[in-house]
A and B are shown apart, each in its own frame.
Chain A
């Protein structure tokens, strides 16, 4: 404090990174306005479009909260897309639907959490590498989802579930509210609780954390269960959006969630990351998808740009903000 001045209290690095991502969003907005001035000139349309972007970011955003925890804790979860599909399919089968919206929500969250806990058990107590354990879960969960659904699209007839996606709270879509709550809870859990501090400690150095008295195994199990829980919530959100669930749904969500976390500044090697950064990462991707649709550009171009942005974001962060933060570092 005495050497660096007041700015040392600000988390400088993540602030710069988030400002960078806000810059990216501004640039994307300007590009949109140049391509389609007819649409971007209409303020009602602009507001509505922003809500659409946020709504599309909602389900993947909730998953990203869980994935961010797992990565900060030094792990990786490749199974999230498959877990969403499994939880979604399970909650929309006819038998489950007959229990009503409560039964469907409970089934989705229970299936997601239990499957996530299985990941955690395999990794923490079975000593499987996270990459392998969650890869195996990815394959198995998709298989189970296909089996349960009979490979058929499971249409949701529940008006409450289907209505979640169309409801608004004070003009804000319900899905965006759910994301905001999930992100806020995630932020509190990471920054204001022992659980969060332990997650960072384990991700930084698991052995040191163990020697410091942290039950690393149990904590690891809880991290993957948390990721699964987020998948269960996302499954309900996705079911509500598409009024159905399918074994092939949420394809490649794992890559989107991991990429969003990394763009938001989460270190793949663990020990560092922020929920706010991850949320910015998700919104950047959602904005790109939206912009490309408005510009009528094909999906493959969008995927190429996505890949480019991931590389660029990491490079820029390493080179630029890395050197900027060095300015504030102790000599």
Chain B
């Protein structure tokens, strides 16, 4: 009994101690990218002037990844920048079916426009058709609908272009160094996603124009721990490396950790997406990471802005057209030490 009481006391004490520490824990507050990735009121922009009050419905997957988090944060912040916008977010759930169910409830509330980043464009295509038939314009973000009738506007990043940009950066760097047949590695993201396949194809195609090819390719899961593991194995397979492209800067944290642990520095590395940390690392120029190719979550802010214009029947101020175009594909830009300062504000 005495033993049991003492044990209980110890356990209780430990639990209380843990509670005290844990209660003090909050998330990394420094990771708030929204202010720089939204467009505030600029007097010179006629589209900022308040128009008809509109309600924008919004849905994006609750995936636990920095890029998706930035998408939702940017959308919210951009909507908040307009006095004439009511932002109505619905949870996307764990898969396409759950997102479709959530969006069905949104249709019933008849928003003026729906902006959504689908779990999967193909699976949400039917929803797009349904919303459009109900007279609610759909702005598809990032993951394309196969049917053009399912959306009013599609705005997305250029996955193939990301690969091309990374391939050209590496190709040119190798030519500049006079490396005739470089050993090139690739750490991709989730292989089952079409976007990963597009990125890899763009990379291979661009390298081909220089007569180069990928020597070893590993697919990680967009997380730092998987990036670390795959990079560690890839470095074992390639004792000498000239260049490495890693598709995603979040998983790149792990990739860089593996490179540092292996004490390797004979090659150059290019990242992907444009996270704040990656841009800072490039600017500092103290690691093998020399560039990253963008795939910015700022597209969510643009989607909200354009969704608002669509709902208000207005066009884009700089275009001759009276209405917002049907499709916008962001270009993938290459961030290097030279222009890192300009892009830092877009880092997420």
Binding site for B on A (CB under 8 A): 36, 39, 45, 48-49, 52, 55-56, 90, 93-96, 99, 103, 106-107, 110-111, 114, 142, 145-146, 148-155, 162, 165-166, 238, 241-251, 289-290, 293-294, 296, 298-300
Give a binary string over B229-259; 1 marks a CB under 8 Å from any A CB, 0 the rest. 1101110110100000000001001101110
With A94-B30, A95-B24, A298-B219 in contact, is A149–B226 under 8 Å at CB? Answer: no
Selected from A166, A247, A290, the residue in CB contact (under 8 A) with B236 is A290
Whether, in the assembled complex, B201 has its beta carbon less than 8 Å from a beta carbon of chain A, the answer is no
A300 to B30, CA, bound (A): 37
Q: Nearest residue in A to B72 (C-beta to C-beta)?
A: A151
Which residues from chain A contact B22 at a C-beta distance below 8 Å? Answer: 90, 96, 107, 110-111
Which residues from chain A contact B193 at a C-beta distance below 8 Å? Answer: none
Q: Nearest residue in B to A111 (C-beta to C-beta)?
A: B22
Which residues from chain B contact A95 at a C-beta distance below 8 Å? Answer: 24-26
A55 to B69, CA, bound (A): 32
A142 to B65, CA, bound (A): 12
Q: When the two chains form their complex, are residues B18 and A110 in contact, meaning their CB atoms are under 8 A apart?
A: yes
Is chain B's interface secondary structure helix, strand, loop, or mixed overall?
A: helix
Q: Nearest residue in A to B258 (C-beta to C-beta)?
A: A241
Q: When the two chains form their complex, are residues A296 and B64 in contact, meaning their CB atoms are under 8 A apart?
A: no
Is chain A's interface secondary structure helix, strand, loop, or mixed overall?
A: helix
Q: When the two chains form their complex, are residues B239 and A39 in contact, meaning their CB atoms are under 8 A apart?
A: yes
Selected from B17, B221, B224, B230, the residue in CB contact (under 8 A) with A243 is B224
Which residues from chain B contact A250 at a C-beta distance below 8 Å? Answer: 225
Q: When the two chains form their complex, are residues A246 and B225 in contact, meaning their CB atoms are under 8 A apart?
A: yes
Residues from 80 to 119 in B contacting A, C-beta threshold 8 Å:
none
Q: Nearest residue in A to B11 (C-beta to C-beta)?
A: A117
Which residues from chain B contact A142 at a C-beta distance below 8 Å? Answer: 64
Residues from 1 to 40 in B contacting A, C-beta threshold 8 Å:
14-15, 17-18, 21-22, 24-31
With A241-B257, A251-B226 in contact, is A103–B64 under 8 Å at CB? Answer: no
Q: When the two chains form their complex, are residues A300 and B257 in contact, meaning their CB atoms are under 8 A apart?
A: no
Q: When the two chains form their complex, are residues A165 and B257 in contact, meaning their CB atoms are under 8 A apart?
A: yes
Which residues from chain B contact A294 at a C-beta distance below 8 Å? Answer: 233, 236-237
A94 to B26, CA, bound (A): 7
Residues from 122 to 147 in B contacting A, C-beta threshold 8 Å:
none
Selected from B14, B30, B63, B225, the residue in CB contact (under 8 A) with A151 is B63
Q: When the two chains form their complex, are residues A296 and B221 in contact, meaning their CB atoms are under 8 A apart?
A: no
Which residues from chain A contact B221 at a C-beta distance below 8 Å? Answer: 248, 251
Whether, in the assembled complex, B218 has its beta carbon less than 8 Å from a beta carbon of chain A, the answer is yes
Other 15 A-B pairs with CB < 8 A, given A107-B21, A111-B18, A152-B27: A39-B239, A48-B236, A52-B233, A52-B236, A145-B64, A238-B225, A241-B254, A243-B257, A244-B224, A244-B257, A246-B224, A293-B234, A296-B216, A298-B191, A299-B191
A323 to B211, CA, bound (A): 58
Whether, in the assembled complex, B298 has its beta carbon less than 8 Å from a beta carbon of chain A, the answer is no
Whether, in the assembled complex, B66 has its beta carbon less than 8 Å from a beta carbon of chain A, the answer is yes
Q: When the two chains form their complex, are residues B253 and A244 in contact, meaning their CB atoms are under 8 A apart?
A: yes
A249 to B62, CA, bound (A): 15
Whether, in the assembled complex, B223 has its beta carbon less than 8 Å from a beta carbon of chain A, the answer is yes
Whether, in the assembled complex, B222 has its beta carbon less than 8 Å from a beta carbon of chain A, the answer is yes
Q: When the two chains form their complex, are residues A241 and B228 in contact, meaning their CB atoms are under 8 A apart?
A: yes
Q: Nearest residue in A to B67 (C-beta to C-beta)?
A: A151
Selected from A52, A94, A99, A251, the residue in CB contact (under 8 A) with B223 is A251
Which residues from chain B contact A149 at a C-beta distance below 8 Å? Answer: 27-28, 64
Q: When the two chains form their complex, are residues B25 and A249 in contact, meaning their CB atoms are under 8 A apart?
A: no
Q: Nearest residue in A to B230 (C-beta to C-beta)?
A: A293
With A152-B28, A153-B250, A241-B254 in contact, is A290–B233 under 8 Å at CB? Answer: yes
Q: When the two chains form their complex, are residues B68 and A151 in contact, meaning their CB atoms are under 8 A apart?
A: yes
Selected from B17, B65, B232, B234, the residue in CB contact (under 8 A) with A248 is B65
Q: When the two chains form their complex, are residues A242 and B69 in contact, meaning their CB atoms are under 8 A apart?
A: no
Q: When the two chains form their complex, are residues A148 and B25 in contact, meaning their CB atoms are under 8 A apart?
A: yes
Q: Nearest residue in B to A146 (C-beta to C-beta)?
A: B64
CB distance from A107 to the nearest CB of B (A): 6
A229 to B216, CA, bound (A): 37
Whether, in the assembled complex, B314 has its beta carbon less than 8 Å from a beta carbon of chain A, the answer is no
With A111-B18, A114-B18, A146-B62 in contact, is A152–B69 under 8 Å at CB? Answer: yes
A64 to B219, CA, bound (A): 24
Which residues from chain B contact A145 at a C-beta distance below 8 Å? Answer: 64
A179 to B253, CA, bound (A): 24
Q: When the two chains form their complex, are residues B232 and A148 in contact, meaning their CB atoms are under 8 A apart?
A: no
Q: When the two chains form their complex, are residues A300 and B253 in contact, meaning their CB atoms are under 8 A apart?
A: no
Q: Nearest residue in A to B4 (C-beta to C-beta)?
A: A218
Residue contacts A-B, CB under 8 angstroms, 25 given:
A45-B239, A90-B25, A95-B25, A99-B24, A106-B21, A107-B25, A110-B15, A111-B22, A114-B18, A148-B27, A150-B31, A154-B28, A162-B257, A241-B225, A241-B254, A242-B224, A243-B256, A243-B257, A244-B253, A244-B254, A248-B63, A289-B229, A293-B216, A296-B215, A298-B191
Q: When the two chains form their complex, are residues A52 and B224 in contact, meaning their CB atoms are under 8 A apart?
A: no
A45 to B226, CA, bound (A): 23
CB distance from B101 to the nearest CB of A (A): 18
Whether, in the assembled complex, B261 has its beta carbon less than 8 Å from a beta carbon of chain A, the answer is yes
